[in-house]
Structure 1
Amino acid sequence: MSTTSDTVNFTFSDTIAGRVTGFDRDARVVSVITPAGTEFRISLDGGPSAELLHNLGEPYQDASGHIDDMLQEGTFVLAYGVFYPTEERLRFEAKRLIFVGRQGDDFRFEEAGWWVRQIKEIAAFYRKAQFGDGPVDFGQYRTEIRLGGEKTASHVQETDTISRLVYGMASAFLLTGEDEYLEVAERGTEYLREHMRFVDTDENVVYWYHGLSIDGDIEKKLFTSEFSDDYDALPAYEQIYALAGPVQTYRITGDPRIRNDADATLRLFDRFYLDPEHGGYFSHIDPILLSPHHESLGPNKARKNWNSVGDHAPAYLINLYLATGEKRYADMLEYTFDTIVERFPDPKNSPFVQERFHQDWSHDTTHGWQQNRAVVGHNLKIAWNLMRMHSLRPKAEYLDMAASIGETMPDVGADRQRGGWYDVVERIKHDGEEHFRFAWHDRKAWWQQEQAILAYLILHGITGREDFRDEARDAQSFYNAFFLDHDEGAVYFNTLASGLPYLLGVERLKGSHSMSMYHSAELCYLAAVYNNLLVGGKAMDFWFKPDPSDLDGRLLRVAPDLLPPGSVRIESVEIEGEPHTDFDAGALTVTLPETSGRVKVRVRLAPRARTEVAG
């Protein structure tokens, strides 16, 4: 066979993900169609192993003896194998098959308890990694955690990573009611308040240190960011994510001190980050003058970005609204999403949103690492959060932009052969090329899979569109098949395009500047909410532990997320294990009894049928 540089004449391993369209038992060939519409013929001659998708904490479930029975038409399967070149075409021989369910329309991650069990396992991993089997002492917290949970020699405690761990533990308590997770969340919140919080009495604001450098018994507070992108500045995203964990804890406890910290940080945003002339929030301010215009900021002078404008909502602001029902938080959310709808789309130039801006909202396409590149997950994150906001204050432009992103992204940001979602790509396609080029690699990050799953779950749950349901299922299949670390615990940072874990450098770590239980827990919490309450018609339990005297009118708000009005109701309530009937099922509020001290509350929420909601 003659060859050229364009001819494939070597073997290579890869993954095919799709739905079965046919199975020739005699020839041992199964036909699979991918989401892109490409049909592959997969040979089973090599005697592949097969397994049923299993959750963290579950044993491996061998299905090798059931392959013929499970390859039903419509079954979703992920096949890892080897491509062999032949005279006519590439031949794919499967070596490993992963079935996501036992039959055609069965997906294990849609089981009522799947995501609850997963967050419980993740929480147990991080609890042991950070504090062992002993007491919860955040003085022992380390930002960097190795693959198996061991700590590195690094002694810098980053404020945001502690906050992200706190968020994860609070979310685990919300779903499981296990007090040990709430203990970690509350002790972490106290540690943040005592060590990382600066109360500026002159300006009547709170801002948060970047972190602590610990050398023995000596703590050195790191006021400004230590990262090259943000060095010697106060980036908005660090202030934003400092609130993520405490505010999620506030949903459970109603601790007024957390509310006061959040309000004081909001005053910081409104006084020093907000642009009163052109709108939106600046990405950085100078640490001395608290100005976004100082020359010391260099390339970050008078800039705005996705994080400074959009990350308020998912990190803390939606949760702050859920806990309080305060109009001013809803107003800030509306302002944020109106800004996104007005400023971020760039349909004349790219299917991806624009993420970086100058003060006047002109596009900044030369900034640092981003240049004119798209973070795929940020586009999906916008769609997900627009749908949440649409349930609070419905607007056609919210729904239209979210649906447009949902329709557009699969062809430009997803892997339509293997499954999963890419990381960073060029926003502009090169002439004559079919694909947007990758910025650095074609690996897939855990947090970008989260954004895809949540975006398509809520898009399907609210619109009822089948194409969005399929995207949600495809994304959940890839994530649960390849990102769960069944050997060491928790989830991997990155995988190769094929789904194999990528375990080099910082991407080998389970704790780092980027990873600290936040996204994996947020995914478990909201995937459980959307799969059960919004899509699957299944009831769920949620847990709270407030002091009634801390709540205005002893009123506990228990809405799990921003969902369509009337779509969820309270089915039952227990306080300290005893039935409690003083609640408003439709308003999702519980009036707690007059009592001294904190009470443990279990609330069962159930979805209403679409016809009941419409009626």
Structure 2
Amino acid sequence: MAADLAFSFSDSTAGYITDHRAGTFRVKTLDDREVTVHLTETTTAQLLRNLGEPYQDVTGRLAELLTPGTLVFSYGPVYPDEDGLYFQADRLVVVGEGDTPHPYEEPGWWTTQLSRLAAFYRRSQFGTGPVDFAQYRTRIHGSGHKTDQHVQETDTISRMVYGMASAYMLTGNEDFLEVAERGSHYLHDHMRFRDEAEQVVYWYHGIDVSGTRERKLFASEFGDDYRAIPAYEQIYALVGLTQTYRVTGDPVVKQDIEDTVRLFQKFFHDPRLGGYYSHIDPVTLSPHHDSLGPNHSRKNWNSVGDHAPAYLINLYLATGEDRYLRMLEHTFDMIVTYMPDRESPFVNERFYADWTPDHSWGWQQNRAVVGHNLKIAWNLMRMNAARPKREYAELARHIARTMPRYGRDPQRGGWYDLLQREAENGRHAFVWHDRKTWWQQEQAILAYLILAGHTGDDTFLRHAHEASAFYNAFFLDHDEGAVHFTVLAQGLPFLMGDERLKGSHAMAMYHKAELCYLAEVYTRLLVRGEPVTLWFRPGADADFPQRLLRVAPDILPPGRVVLDQVRVDGAYWDDYDAEAMAVRLPESAGRLTVQVRLRPVERR
């Protein structure tokens, strides 16, 4: 017996129930293998629950719940035996029951989750008192308490602002909007530099508030980008500003956004070969300065592809201006032209100035970030709804059909982080570990939800369900609040180093909030055929072109969704274009509360 135990280990299994008998049940794993799981007198079971919901014990109901087709996660000891492996269930997570097999499809699941995330970060940064961004800190403990670090990073403030603005759009909670607006004003007052000669704005990496006076951190302090101005930091400085502008129409915020876009076009854009350079020198604003070292004359996925999801799609949605659609089209044309690789299932992510792939840069080398591949598929489908092109749809579908084989865990569920782009002995090996990060799960959920919503393909919808189930089962922190940075392959939280934090250079509120906001939108409008209600709060000076409040929550397939109802300050308002999803705002001396309902058009 001792020898047998010496070879045991603990692991998890995800799958759909095929058979349940006394003491055992069988599941078909996500890659269609049959596994027998053995129950014991100490096995416990719970229902999948949303953030902030109490534990729901269903140990005594297993005979009722372990029915064919039910998705379940099992964790426990695994022993080798004569049939291969013997799986013993220590604890189970049953994803749904009865008429609710996928609870994250139910109206309000993602909205509730976003509201609780927003409450966590509001409380962590400002307590229950006034919202004062002088007290903001980048690094937050897992419990939500601030660390002793005193740097305020521009991007993490902007990411929090995005989350709060998105939470307001789904809930109408004005406390969240206050955080978003105060954060936007703080960014304007403390984090930006306007070059009057060039008519551009660029954003400080952050400010150090440890002394009696703010110390501006002009260039990046992050290792990969040290003493440079990386495109992605400028891009993510706009993520919260743009979402706030969508809600309020604030002309000051709009001007900062437009001046930063001018920075991209003047100093990051390659007018000869296309795309955007990844870094510029902080003094000369040149991408070709020797001071940039390994970032000299380079382009990468972030500098080209991240414009769209971070701010550019939302800027186009808010303004309807063709110049932003043309910029979007340019970035996606660069993606479909240069990033696919016939020799690998993964895209190329880093390039020299002439678009030759760079497989020697820093930590990336010839390695694939699974989430970037999924992010491309997701955003190509968004763009294809605005400017349909065969190349966009084909690459999105190719990535979506290819990635499960390489980037998904077929036994446990969830999506991996970093893999070798080239296979050795038939396997794309892990680079460092087999852990799973929160933001890559987001990309999988949104990619497969939008693909399912656009195409009606049940396989895409199944991938969306499975990714949503894994995320909601293992990433939600029911003890401390918010979402874990990383889990082990089995789904257990990984709480070491910066990955134990709820706030850091790499983690703020953006990806979690974006997931909740768009998963609610895609699920309601494109998958389930149900309405969505959104809130906006334009001021008297709202700077929207033609004074039109454009309320489309995302770029949606033409003809699939219409604006069904508008209320302005609680009263019904009929001056709107249902198909364009645009409201003509009334003249007003003060702020307006605009509540809109969007509904899907029945498909024939």
Give the TM-score of the pair, scaled to structure 1: 0.96
Question: Contact 1:46/1:95 (CA < 8 Å) preserved in 2?
Answer: no
Write the deviation string for residues 249-277 of structure 1: whole angstroms up to 9, x where unpaired.
Answer: 00000111112111111111111111112
Aligned to 1:332: 327
Structure 1 residues 327 and 8: CA distance shift in structure 2, 3 A: farther
Q: Could you tell me how far apart the structure 2 residues matched to 1:310 and 1:561 are?
A: 17
Query: Could you tell me how far 1:104 is from its partner in structure 2?
Result: 7.4
Query: Is 2:515 the counterpart of 1:520?
Result: no
Write the deviation string for residues 498-522 of structure 1: whole angstroms up to 9, x where unpaired.
Answer: 0010111100000000111100000
Aligned to 1:130: 125
Q: Could you tell me how far apart the structure 1 residues matched to 2:5 and 2:603 are?
A: 52
SS at match of 2:223: coil
Aligned to 1:308: 303
Instruction: For 1:47-58, list aligned pairs within 5 A.
Output: 47-58=42-53
Query: Could you tell me how far 1:549 is from its partner in structure 2?
Result: 4.3
Query: Could you tell me how far 1:540 is from its partner in structure 2?
Result: 1.2
Aligned to 2:546: 553
Unaligned ranges ≥5, structure 2? none
Q: Could you tell me how far apart the structure 1 residues matched to 2:341 and 2:377 are?
A: 15
Aligned to 1:318: 313
Question: Contact 1:547/1:598 (CA < 8 Å) preserved in 2?
Answer: yes
Structure 1 residues 453 and 377: CA distance shift in structure 2, 3 A: same
SS at match of 1:541: strand
Q: Could you tell me how far apart the structure 1 residues matched to 2:557 and 2:470 are?
A: 28
Percent identity for Structure 1 against Structure 2: 60
Question: Contact 2:250/2:541 (CA < 8 Å) preserved in 1?
Answer: no
Query: Is 2:451 the counterpart of 1:459?
Result: yes
Q: Choose from 128, 135, 139 the match for 2:134.
A: 139
Aligned to 2:111: 116
Query: Could you tell me how far 1:103 is from its partner in structure 2?
Result: 2.9
Aligned to 2:598: 605
Query: Is 2:427 the counterpart of 1:429?
Result: no
Question: Contact 2:220/2:230 (CA < 8 Å) preserved in 1?
Answer: yes
Q: Could you tell me how far apart the structure 2 residues matched to 1:9 and 1:562 are?
A: 55
Q: Which has the larger displacement, 413-422 or 550-559? A: 550-559
Query: Could you tell me how far 1:46 is from its partner in structure 2?
Result: 4.2
Aligned to 2:356: 362
- AA aligned to 2:64 is D
Q: Could you tell me how far apart the structure 2 residues matched to 1:42 and 1:67 are?
A: 13
Q: Could you tell me how far apart the structure 2 residues matched to 1:586 and 1:378 are?
A: 33
Q: Choose from 391, 395, 404 the match for 2:389.
A: 395
Q: Could you tell me how far apart the structure 2 residues matched to 1:159 and 1:59 are?
A: 35
Question: Contact 2:540/2:590 (CA < 8 Å) preserved in 1?
Answer: yes
Write the deviation string for residues 438-470 of structure 1: whole angstroms up to 9, x where unpaired.
Answer: 111110000000000000000111011111011
Query: Is 2:13 the counterpart of 1:21?
Result: no
SS at match of 2:224: coil
Unaligned ranges ≥5, structure 1? none
Query: Could you tell me how far 1:547 is from its partner in structure 2?
Result: 2.1
Question: Contact 1:159/1:208 (CA < 8 Å) preserved in 2?
Answer: yes
Aligned to 2:432: 440
Query: Could you tell me how far 1:82 is from its partner in structure 2?
Result: 1.2
Q: Choose from 579, 585, 588 the match for 2:581.
A: 588
Aligned to 1:242: 237
Question: Contact 1:272/1:290 (CA < 8 Å) preserved in 2?
Answer: yes
Query: Is 2:497 the counterpart of 1:505?
Result: yes
- AA aligned to 1:459 is L
Question: Contact 1:205/1:268 (CA < 8 Å) preserved in 2?
Answer: yes
Query: Is 2:265 the counterpart of 1:265?
Result: no
Instruction: For 1:471-550, list aligned pairs within 5 A.
Output: 471-550=463-542
Aligned to 1:190: 185
Q: Could you tell me how far apart the structure 1 residues matched to 2:317 and 2:95 are?
A: 34
Query: Could you tell me how far 1:9 is from its partner in structure 2?
Result: 5.8
Q: Which has the larger displacement, 510-519 or 15-24? A: 15-24
Question: Contact 2:151/2:210 (CA < 8 Å) preserved in 1?
Answer: no
Write the deviation string for residues 363-413 of structure 1: whole angstroms up to 9, x where unpaired.
Answer: 100100101000000000000000000000011110000000000000100
Question: Contact 2:381/2:392 (CA < 8 Å) preserved in 1?
Answer: yes
Q: Could you tell me how far apart the structure 2 residues matched to 1:364 and 1:77 are?
A: 42
Question: Contact 1:571/1:585 (CA < 8 Å) preserved in 2?
Answer: yes
Superposition RMSD on alpha carbons, in Å? Answer: 1.4
Instruction: For 1:346-425, list aligned pairs within 5 A.
Output: 346-347=341-342, 349-425=343-419
Q: Could you tell me how far apart the structure 2 residues matched to 1:423 and 1:394 are?
A: 30
Query: Could you tell me how far 1:279 is from its partner in structure 2?
Result: 1.1
Q: Choose from 196, 202, 206 the match for 1:201.
A: 196
Question: Contact 2:200/2:262 (CA < 8 Å) preserved in 1?
Answer: yes
Q: Could you tell me how far apart the structure 2 residues matched to 1:211 and 1:442 are?
A: 32
Q: How many residues get paired? A: 603
SS at match of 1:22: strand
- AA aligned to 2:485 is F
SS at match of 1:485: coil
